[in-house]
Amino acid sequence: MLVEINFDGIVGPSHNYAGLSPGNLAATRNRGQVSHPRAAALQGLAKMRANLALGLPQGILLPHARPDHRWLAQLSLRYEQAPPHSQAQALSASPMWAANAATVSPGPDTADGRCHLSVANLVTMPHRSHEWPETLAQLRLAFADPAFAVHGPVPAPFGDEGAANHMRLAGTHDAPGVEIFVYGIAGGPFPARQHPDASAAIARRHLLDPARTLFVQQSEAAIAAGAFHNDVVAVANGRVLFAHEHAFADKERFYDRLRAIMPEVEIVEVPAEQVSLADAIASYLFNAQLVSLPGGETGLVLPGEARDTPAVWNWLQAHVAGNGPIRRLEVVDVRESMANGGGPACLRLRVVADPATIDPRFLVDHAKLDRIAAVIEAQWPDAIDPAAIADPALIARVETARHALLETLGIVELIDSLP
């Protein structure tokens, strides 16, 4: 039985605001602020609990070893003597944004019937470029069953940021879908992080049907306004594509091709005159989890910032009051992640699979979340000032905290499994 499972990245104990991602306006704006890793991780757990309460199955991905000493060693650096920018890049808790872990093509879409996952290379941002080896190790553990094919990264320099630039539409999760790869060419002053050749390579290795695969350019205006990933301005689930008017470079052509493949598609486009691109990006209206609820309705799991932005909340209220396909709104507080530009949808990787084929250590229920919460309460730092990341006591605390979590979950092979 194939179901959609959200794998949320647990916010790691080194979560901090170093402002490492140009083009990500929230992260840049909050550079130098004091972060709260414990509160951040607990907010993430509360979101998972809200998903469970909606009747949705839930999985986890784990914080990576930080600082990443292996990566520093490749730069002939030791953390203690590394320059501040290298320390920040080695310490980032960015693997929390699981939507950037991999691109996932469920079995019904692939020629061999397996669910294919390609780990994202994340080469555009230095602090994210060293995530993939540990992400790959985790994916190989969680998805070791022959029902899955787990692939390494597309080679540099073809930037790939995973599911954040990939959308899937399908009548039901277990039916063949349409896979949409969104790439960037230009982003005004900011980098386009998803290279079209990376998207094309993933579609080939995932054995997708070319007749049901679309490659769509993200609009330059969207990237320039701060949509560094497509999932900041568009999200898809089931038969519903929910997007801002200015998300795509040539939306008419895209919509025509999509309707030709999938006549039943419901395109919910939010006009700029009702919600500006700036409001959409500041509120993360589209960085929401668009989900099929057990009763068959479509729900939207939104960040609190969407409720606090009047134009956005007014649009949502009108949509729900009318005949729109989104029937239920669920608001979650992930403000610590939001301040680094990561909303509810950034924090999760969707995998359509039979839960029985997944390593159960990566699946959670309320009782396991209680155990995880106890480790976070006891071990995660309360606050990190990015000016103080050289402190050896902080580093010792961060490393001990992660080990405690891996031991609690019985995933000890990750402690020393990397090359």
Which CB atom, from 100 or from 309, has the smaller least distance to ligand SUG?
A: 100
Among residues 4, 161, 245, 330, which one is catalytic?
Answer: 161
Residue 94 interacts with ligand SUG (CB under 6 A): yes or no:
yes
H/E segment holding residue 313? helix 310-321
| 246 included as an active-site residue | no
Cα dihedral value 66, 183, 350, 70, nearest 10: -20
Residue 99 interacts with ligand SUG (CB under 6 A): yes or no:
yes
| 115 included as an active-site residue | no
* Nearest residue to 208 (alpha-carbon basis) of 158, 149, 138: 149
Annotate 250-281 with b (16+ C-beta within 10 A) or e (fewer).
Answer: ebeebbeebeeebeebebbbbeeeebbbebbb
Which CB atom, from 92 or from 276, has the smaller least distance to ligand SUG?
A: 92
Between residue 376 and residue 395, which ones bind ligand SUG under the rule CB under 6 A?
none
Residue 18 interacts with ligand SUG (CB under 6 A): yes or no:
yes
Residue 299 CB contacts under 8 Å (≥ 6 apart), including other chains: 54, 290, 291, 292, 293, 326, 327, 328, 329, 330
| 229 included as an active-site residue | yes
DSSP 224-260: HTT--SGGGTEEEETTEEEEETTSBTTHHHHHHHHHH
**Shortest distance (Å) from residue 36 CB to ligand SUG:** 14
Which CB atom, from 57 or from 343, has the smaller least distance to ligand SUG?
A: 343
C-beta of residue 395 within 8 angstroms of C-beta of residue 79: yes
**Shortest distance (Å) from residue 56 CB to ligand SUG:** 19
Residue 19 interacts with ligand SUG (CB under 6 A): yes or no:
yes
Site string for ligand SUG, 319-348 (x = CB under 6 A): ---------------------xxx---x--
Residue 164 interacts with ligand SUG (CB under 6 A): yes or no:
yes
C-beta of residue 149 within 8 angstroms of C-beta of residue 185: no
Residue 121 interacts with ligand SUG (CB under 6 A): yes or no:
no
Which CB atom, from 162 or from 238, has the smaller least distance to ligand SUG?
A: 162
* Nearest residue to 63 (alpha-carbon basis) of 35, 92, 88: 92
Catalytic positions, written as ranges: 161, 229, 346
Q: Which residues contact ligand SUG (rule: CB under 6 A)?
A: 18-21, 24, 27, 92, 94, 97, 99-100, 125, 128, 164, 228-229, 231-232, 340-342, 346
